[in-house]
Amino acid sequence: MSIEPLIMGSVSSGSGPLLSFTCNHLSSSSSLHSSLLHYNSSFDSFSIFKIFPRKKSFRGVFVAMASDLSKPTVLITGAAGRTGQIVYKKLKDRSDQFNGKGLVRTSDSKQTIGGADDVFIGDIRDTDSIAPAIQGIDALIILTSAVPKMKPGSDPAREKPEFIFEDGAYPEQVDWIGQKNQIDVAKAAGVKHIVVVGSMGGTNPNHPLNSLANGNILIGKRKLTSLAIVTILQIWKRKAEQYLADSGIPYTIIRAGGLQDRPGGVRELIVGKDDELLETETRTISRADVAEVCIQALQFEEAQFKAFDLASKPEGAGEPTTDFKALFSKITTRF
């Protein structure tokens, strides 16, 4: 039996995605069937809510609030970090738009962000450990990063402090292998969009981040012994970003400027490429603004397959950014 659908509909805003559709299906037996559908344009999916069979003919308009099944499920890894916590909270505050979940490394970190059942504990260096958190999600926001710690015995009051990375937590293991694992598991799970937050400075071997603990977070230099330093001609963060760009998954790579713990939504945001913004006076950005850009990137096709530097003008200089579609449309660089 062949079916030829005729679909008429409209979308209106409100407390959630409200959709109205009239769907008439004319079958070979000349009976009409009407169905209510929800279309999620960001993730290209339909949800059929109910089917109403009718003899002969019927035409009607059905209105329904989209259910949780129609909202994209978004996982934030590194959810207990300073920026990750903001992203997680923003998603929870927008529960009418997203199903937000988090991935953290320890039970203590889980408690830091409330200890909810939707927060998973896992080690990004182990794919089996993170697979349960990634299964069933629509989008992934990667906020994991190697974090140096001050070397025991360092006295910042007397001398420039030294930093070290814990065993197993060097940039190569976290920023390359850990991110690669997340991308691989996400691809296998059918994730539709990955947002990665990195840092400006990847084109500059003299960037301050590259001298911390000889770890070369951005460039890839690690002290193996007190007598030998091996320079790996790979850029750990950029290597992971390149791997994502080559994966075929729609992506957004955000290379943030210097992160500040200030309120968001009050500055004009600026996008750039190839560390050009580091040569200007606008090379910092609030964590809250970075978090907002992560979430906005999930909602616009203009953000997909894009990589860009991100900073902001000083408060009061320019107009606060509210049109994120226009912001993403300015970006032309894929990597």
Give the number of C-alpha atoms closer than 13 A to the C-alpha of residue 100, restricted to the C-beta side. Answer: 23
- Residues 6 or more apart from 90 whose CB is under 8 A from it? 291, 292, 295
Pair type for strands 99-104 and 73-77: parallel
Q: Is 199 a catalytic residue?
A: yes
112, 102 Cβ separation under 8 angstroms: no
Helical (H) or strand (E) element with 306: strand 306-312
3-state class of 296 per DSSP? helix
- Residues 6 or more apart from 156 whose CB is under 8 A from it? 150
297, 76 Cβ separation under 8 angstroms: no
Name the token pair of 41.
Answer: 């344009």
Q: Single out the catalytic residue among 34, 35, 109, 199.
A: 199
DSSP 335: -
- The alpha carbon of 264 is separated from its chain's Cα centroid by a whole number of angstroms, namely 17
Give the number of C-alpha atoms closer than 13 A to the C-alpha of residue 164, restricted to the C-beta side. Answer: 10
- DSSP characters for 126-147? -HHHHHHHHTT-SEEEE-----
Query: Residue-wise over 68-87: b if at least 16 C-beta within 10 A, else e?
Result: eebbbbbbbbbbbbebbbbb
- How many angstroms separate the CA atoms of 303 and 325, rounded? 8
251, 196 Cβ separation under 8 angstroms: yes
Name the token pair of 172.
Answer: 């190569």
Active-site positions? 199
